[in-house]
Structure 1
């Protein structure tokens, strides 16, 4: 498993947890997914 994938999965799980607290699970997952992709793109090595 690549490091970028782990970052995305972690953000999705954190987003789902926050969504459970606020009773909006699916939007929390989607926001976590978006944040995960943004963080992954920040840590992406340049060729």
Structure 2
């Protein structure tokens, strides 16, 4: 029900974390997968 909003939110959060976080994590890869899921669900 709220899948689109969730994917979009976590995608944006990941992009922000990639810029400001000191923790090494694949934030941009995670953002990409979330936005791919967002657009996939949106197309359905």
TM-score calculated relative to the size of structure 2: 0.52
Over aligned residues, Cα RMSD in angstroms? 2.5
Structure of larger gyration radius: 1
Q: More relative contact order in 1 or in 2 (CA 8 Å, sep 6+)?
A: 2
TM-score calculated relative to the size of structure 1: 0.49
Moved over 3 A (4+): none
Aligned length: 34
Q: What is the DSSP-based 3-state SS (H/G/I as helix, E as strand, rest coil) of the residue aligned with 2:43?
A: coil
Correspondence for 2:41 = 42
Correspondence for 1:3 = none
Residue segments in structure 1 that go unaligned for 5+ positions in a row: 1-7
Residue segments in structure 2 that go unaligned for 5+ positions in a row: 1-7
